[in-house]
Amino acid sequence: MTDALIVGGGPAGLMAAEALADAGHHVTVADAKPSFGRKFLMAGKSGLNLTKDEPFEAFLASYPDLPAQLHEALRSFGPADVQAWARGLGQELFTGSTARVFPKAMKASPLLRAWLARLDEKGVTFRRRWRWTGWDADALTFQTPEGGMTLEPKVTVLALGGASWARLGSDGTWATLLSQKDVPVAPFQPSNAGVSVDWTPHMVRHFGAPLKNIRLSAGATRLRGEAVISSRGLEGGGIYGLSAALREGAELTIDLAPDRTAEEISDRIARPRGKTSFTNHLRKVLNIEPQKLALLMEFAGPLSKFPEVLAQQIKALPIGHTGLRPLDEAISTAGGLRFDALDERLMLKAMPGTFAAGEMLDWDAPTGGYLLTACLATGLHAGRAAAQFSQSRL
């Protein structure tokens, strides 16, 4: 028998499941895919960034226009709590030079295995390949390998993800089902995404090359970071952090030498070069990598022989691009279930007993541990609230 249903087997859904199981509920977690946490596992392939170890107010400041419900969830389960939770699952952690926190194993799979085993010990039932198809009166309907199924739990937590990486389960199709119930959903937009660039042929040999020690700017946002030149454009954390401004049409500029002033760069360029070619002269006096020079020539045209002009281009190189990469290539999405459709418990105002958590909510945050922390925090918040709601109905 199930009295609590979780739809979606990612971090938010599993956290909600644990909260309900700890409160004594019979919990079922249903997911459309053949295994749980698929996007979680993919995100951890290059090193699972769990959270960021920084002052809490600074941590909160990284969430633009922080909704009250998300603020409350993070207050109850912040970076320190995430670290304690991971250690409780047997994971040794370390903090990198940028304050990002990782498991020493650097992978998501050991943590996920330990977590699923603990949930199994608590009696949680897992249903794989159960695709949610909507409601039949008060019952939730599913398409399963055994055919159509219905469940009518006392409480439900929806943790269905955003609309990126559809192959891993986050396809956003749930938005249509909620719209049929007159629940407001904001349009999905890419977040933490690269930008598309139509490169000229001379850039091909630089595909895969990193752009390190740069400052990137779009609108009012300026940040130090890194990027990678790819066949599709520019990718990497430095670009991802500008997603919100770039979505609004802000110009992208890159400072290729952030530790030098324009005057210093100009003076260095003006040094005698003898018979050295101008590009080799620049490499020598500025210690600038070939890929940065290639980017400069791509967007500034023939290199100016006027040191002051070239220095200004190096300090604020406008990057011609055609917008963010497509939604399904984005690490996460903005848009989703609007917070004004939810009460302070993350319960849908129009559907008492139905709660929501994770990336399906309309919030936006940079990579660096903020995404995962908020998914865990909202999952726990919704799960605890669902348990209290169920108890109040007895």
Per-residue pLDDT tens digits for 168-187: 889 999 999 999 999 999 99
Mean pLDDT of 153-181: 94
Domain 4-190+328-392 has CATH 3.50.50.60: yes
CA distances from 360 to 4, 175, 185, 351, 367 (A): 19, 9, 9, 16, 16
Q: Give 62: exposed, middle or buried? Use CB within 10 Å, 0-12, 13-18, 19+.
A: middle
- Residue 1 pLDDT grade (very low, low, confident, very high; cuts 50, 70, 90): low
pLDDT over threshold 70, residue 45: yes
pLDDT number for residue 301 = 86
Mean pLDDT of 129-135: 97
67-111 pLDDT per residue, tens: 999 999 999 999 999 999 999 999 999 999 889 999 999 999 999
Rg (CA), the chain: 24
Ranges of each domain in the chain: 4-190+328-392, 195-318
- Residue 161 pLDDT grade (very low, low, confident, very high; cuts 50, 70, 90): very high
Q: Tell me the one-letter amino acid at 352.
A: P
The residue to which tokens 């951890």 are assigned = 44
pLDDT number for residue 394 = 61
pTM (two decimals): 0.93
The residue to which tokens 């279930």 are assigned = 337
The percentage of the chain sitting over the pLDDT mark of 90, rounded to a whole number, equals: 90
Q: Rounded distance, CA 94 to CA 54, Å?
A: 14
pLDDT number for residue 392 = 83
pLDDT number for residue 43 = 81
User: In a 3-state reduction of DSSP, which class is residue 228?
Assistant: strand
Q: Rounded distance, CA 286 to CA 257, Å?
A: 8
Contacts of 310 (CB under 8 A, 6+ apart): 265, 266, 269, 300, 303, 304
Mean pLDDT of 211-233: 95
Residue 191: count of CB within 10 angstroms of its CB = 26
Q: Tell me the one-letter amino acid at 238.
A: G
pLDDT over threshold 90, residue 391: no
pLDDT number for residue 271 = 93
296-343 pLDDT per residue, tens: 999 998 888 899 999 999 999 999 999 999 999 999 999 999 999 999
277-302 pLDDT per residue, tens: 988 999 999 999 999 999 999 999 88
Beta-bridge partners for 217:
222, 253
